[in-house]
């Protein structure tokens, strides 16, 4: 089986990865416009190629404490099929920092065991361990729930 390329990033002291095929670009985390009355895990929106892209704060979405973002913080713009409606759309993921490119053998990807329905594992495709370090693989299509869906879909 062929290895898959991922971009790894850090959020709340944990390492995560997104498949390269989902990623359109990586932006410096600036000029995020807040969205009134949206759930707290939405940081706001950012402009990319004249498209207003909703941005999810990875820390808040995964249930971690809100932290301070700095000049190393990034927005990873992804195009994904949202699981709730199987429709293509853009979403930004606000992260502490982007780390590196990683190649993962799909056979080394382990399932994430959910403790309950609210565990952040529902947003993950799996987990892998490399050199004693755990990395969680994000399923970008699961980051938006049905309630949020109408506000974030941007047909391409």
Residue 155 falls within a domain, yes or no?
Answer: no
Residue 114 falls within a domain, yes or no?
Answer: yes
Residue 56 falls within a domain, yes or no?
Answer: yes
Q: What is the pLDDT of residue 148?
A: 59
Q: What is the pLDDT of residue 156?
A: 36
Residue 49 falls within a domain, yes or no?
Answer: yes
User: How many domains are contained in the chain?
Assistant: 1
pLDDT at position 135 over 60: yes
121: which residues sit within 8 A by CB, 6+ positions away?
A: 112, 113, 114, 115
pLDDT at position 24 over 60: yes
pLDDT at position 117 over 60: no
Residue 130 falls within a domain, yes or no?
Answer: yes
pLDDT at position 11 over 70: yes
Torsion sign (Cα): 23, 101, 60, 76: negative
For residue 14, the enclosing domain spans 4-150
CATH of the domain at 49: 2.40.50.180
Q: What is the pLDDT of residue 76?
A: 96
Ranking 4-13, 20-29, 99-108, 113-122 by mean pLDDT, the lowest is 113-122
């Amino acid at each position: 089986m062929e290895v898959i390329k991922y971009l790894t990033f850090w959020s709340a002291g944990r390492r995560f990865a997104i498949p390269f095929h989902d990623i359109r670009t990586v932006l410096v985390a600036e000029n995020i416009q807040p969205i009134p009355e949206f759930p707290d895990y939405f940081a706001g929106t950012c402009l990319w190629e004249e498209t207003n892209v909703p941005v999810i704060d990875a820390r808040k979405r995964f249930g971690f404490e809100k932290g301070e973002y700095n000049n190393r913080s990034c927005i990873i713009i992804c195009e994904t099929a949202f699981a709730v409606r199987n429709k293509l759309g853009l979403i930004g993921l606000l992260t502490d920092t982007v780390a590196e490119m990683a190649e993962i053998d799909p056979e080394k990807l382990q399932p994430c065991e959910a403790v309950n329905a609210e565990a952040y594992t529902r947003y993950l495709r799996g987990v892998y361990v490399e050199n004693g370090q755990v990395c969680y693989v994000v399923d970008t299509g699961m980051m938006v729930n049905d309630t949020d869906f109408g506000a974030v879909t941007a047909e391409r």
